[in-house]
Amino acid sequence: MRKRAKRSGDGAPGPQQKYDYVKHIEHIRNKFMCSEVPMGVIFVLFHKFVAHLGAPASLPLATGICIFLREKLMHDILVVDDNSINRQLAVYLLKKGGYEVYEAESGQQAFDFLKSQTPDVILLDIQLPEMDGLEVLKRIRSNSSTKDVTVIALTAYTMRGDKEKFETAGFDGYLPKPIEPRTFARQILEIYSS
């Protein structure tokens, strides 16, 4: 195999170093947070690219494909919002984006759903009746089967400091209302992929 002499400057080995696949695979997984992509998939991709292109060119290619795969791995979303119209709009936009979407109008309905299924993302309104979004989040995080699910706050609370408050509470991201139809699904994907 012909090896390229140029160093990529991105964790790729230099000309005198032997290719260390494991190091590269770990680099891709850690740097680009592709932990949901199976190790074997990254290994095969990287191995194939290295065989044809050499390691420096392989790194961005394999990384791009891993990110693509990771995005494809987000396929189901639970929308929790007591406002029927907002919920229907969110569900519509996400279904249009190709996702499997479930809906709940209260924290309790969400917990009932989570007993049988674990979605990739939960989109959680803050101002819910009976139990607010912060309390629902606490319970989601305290449950071993849902503690790692990406939970995004969807809220009309858009004062300065609210974003930090929700992130401190344990949300993975924050989407202020009103829903912007053109960018809604993309914003969720960006939070999920970050």
Partner 1 sequence: MKDKSFENIRALAAADMPGQIAVLEAAICDANRDTVRTTSHQISGRATSFGCTDISALASELERSVEKTSLSYSVDSVNRIYNLSVL
CB-nearer residue toward partner 1: 117 or 183: 183
What one-letter code names the amino acid at 133?
G
> If you count them, how many residues does the chain have?
194
What one-letter code names the amino acid at 111?
F
Give the 3-state secondary structure of residue 174. strand
Other beta carbons less than 10 A from residue 66's beta carbon: 23
Give residues 151-170 in contact with partner 1 (rule: CB under 8 A): 156
CB-nearer residue toward partner 1: 45 or 79: 79
Rule CB under 8 A: is residue 129 a binding residue for partner 1?
A: no
Q: What b-and-e string marks burial along 110-130, b requiring 16 or more CB atoms within 10 Å of the CB? A: bbebbeeeebbbbbbbbebee
Rule CB under 8 A: is residue 100 a binding residue for partner 1?
A: no
CB-nearer residue toward partner 1: 139 or 177: 177
Strand 173-176 to 76-80 pairing: unpaired
Rule CB under 8 A: is residue 89 a binding residue for partner 1?
A: yes
Give residues 167-186 in contact with partner 1 (rule: CB under 8 A): 177-181
Give residues 49-88 in contact with partner 1 (rule: CB under 8 A): 84-86, 88
In the bound complex, what is the minimum distance in angstroms from residue 160's beta carbon to partner 1? 16
Q: Which residues bind partner 1 (CB under 8 A)?
A: 84-86, 88-89, 92, 156, 177-181
